Amino acid sequence: MTYQNYSLEQLQKIDAAHHLHPFTDHKELRGLGSRMIARAKGPFIYDSEGKEILDAMAGLWCVNVGYGRDELAEVAYEQMKQLPFYNSFFKCTTPPATLLAKKIAEIAPANINQVFFGSSGSESNDTALRLVRHYWSLEGKPQKNRIISRNMAYHGSTVAGTSLGGMEHMHGQLGGAVPNIVHVMMPYAFELALPGESDQDFGIRAARAVEDAILEAGPDNVAAFIGEPIQGAGGVKIPPASYWPEIQRICRKYDVLLMLDEVITGYGRTGEWFAAQSMGIEADTITTAKALTSGYQPLSALLVGDRIAATLVEKGGEFYHGYTYSGHPVACAVALRNLEIIEREGMIERVRSDTGPYFGEQLQKRVAGHPLVGEVRTFGLLGAIEIVSDRATRARFEPSGSAAVVVRDHAIANGLMMRATGDTMILSPPLIWTRETIDLACDRIARALDLAAADLGRK
């Protein structure tokens, strides 16, 4: 591979000398050298040696329409020529930002009609945190500012995102979190259900942990509960069907706002535009990013429900918050076209009635019975494979997380990009996958599992 006259070796050397990657052990990376991804087309990425890899992660949970969409490049080019940038401060806006806000309001749940733009999921969660606290201040209840979140939640990597999230290793490096955020148990039946407890009973128990936290703080001190409908980076944890209705009931009972983080689940992945619609959740805010542009431009949108929006408008007063790139016209133009592609190609309907169910069936049929696999779970085009050393007891390999990395490395070597998080393999393919692509992915997963089993002495 050459890139603008640089060889792979030169690029790797330059990378090692100058580029600090996110979420990386820099000592370890210097020893290994980075994997250089040079181009991509449709469902495939191509690494520096020209090796074709089926991208079962849609980039980083974002490239829902697949790679190589010329029309997204063209719309960006046209917008850059017309107006590459203008801000949305000082009572200004731009046509793409205005029209995108309208489009999002149309596809959002009925109680949501307003949008606040940022450039990343982390930024929009920062907006969400500040907005719900601002809301309660405007309502004359500034002490109602505590936020309840869950262990292992991922809400981004800024200080607010890390504080909202429930990743202990990230908290450990924070040196002081944003105050008044507490974390309760996650709805993860595979590890946390008691012996003999049904998944549905477990779902109710996990939701009641939120009620306990509200009662402990006093309902007058609790602003909101925040959660991903399905915990993504924490391991594609799909809650039992009983969980969200109970959360909704609890939030209503104590007048606690419900904040959803749909940075991964938004824009079609669950077989509806939003998981809120798939799961029947009525939220006060919904954080979105990633697939809003299919990753072709950095852009996020906080969807703001009518209750909060009405107070902002009725009470007035400036909300001192926003970003240079809030409503960036190029990113918004790309998002508009991306949403049009998702609609035009019927992707959401296909995930709901064809590829989503097929993905689940095939993984159950071809992967779930493997000696290394403790559970397979899917929802739409999101999937998780639990790696265990003993299927009956669900015991894990030691040290924790080590076996999943072996599976992942074999998968990549065999032409399938998937992620390992802890002892869980994760799949989040683009919505363009067909039944044939799903078959190919299952072949490669099964092969990776066999090779890993041999390495781990299980065959």
What is the contact surface with ligand PXG in residues (CB under 6 A)?
60, 120-122, 125, 154-156, 161, 228, 232-233, 261, 263-264, 289, 419
Phi-psi region of 294 (alpha: psi -120 to 50; beta: other; left: phi over 0): left
Q: Give residue number: closest CB to ligand PXG.
A: 121
- Give 193 or 331: the residue with its C-beta nearer to ligand PXG: 331
- Give 288 or 389: the residue with its C-beta nearer to ligand PXG: 288
On whether the CB atoms of residues 116 and 288 are closer than 8 A, the answer is: no
In the chain, helix, strand, coil percent, each to 5? 45, 20, 40
- Give 8 or 177: the residue with its C-beta nearer to ligand PXG: 177
- Euclidean distance between the first and the last CA atom of the chain, given in angstroms as a whole number: 38
Q: For helices 199-217 and 243-253, what crossing angle results, to 10°? A: 20
Question: At closest approach, how far in Å is the CB of 336 from ligand PXG?
Answer: 19
- Residue 159 CA to residue 234 CA, distance in Å, equals 18
What is the token pair recorded at 138? 């405007």
Question: At closest approach, how far in Å is the CB of 344 from ligand PXG?
Answer: 26
- Give 116 or 154: the residue with its C-beta nearer to ligand PXG: 154
Residue with tokens 């089926």: 54
- Give 161 or 356: the residue with its C-beta nearer to ligand PXG: 161
**Cβ neighbours for 155, distance < 8 A, ≥ 6 positions apart:** 121, 122, 125, 149, 161, 162, 164, 165, 226, 228, 261, 287
- Give 189 or 233: the residue with its C-beta nearer to ligand PXG: 233
Q: Residue 146 gets which letter from DSSP?
A: E
Question: At closest approach, how far in Å is the CB of 289 from ligand PXG?
Answer: 5
Pairing of strands 382-387, 373-379: antiparallel
Question: At closest approach, how far in Å is the CB of 161 from ligand PXG?
Answer: 6
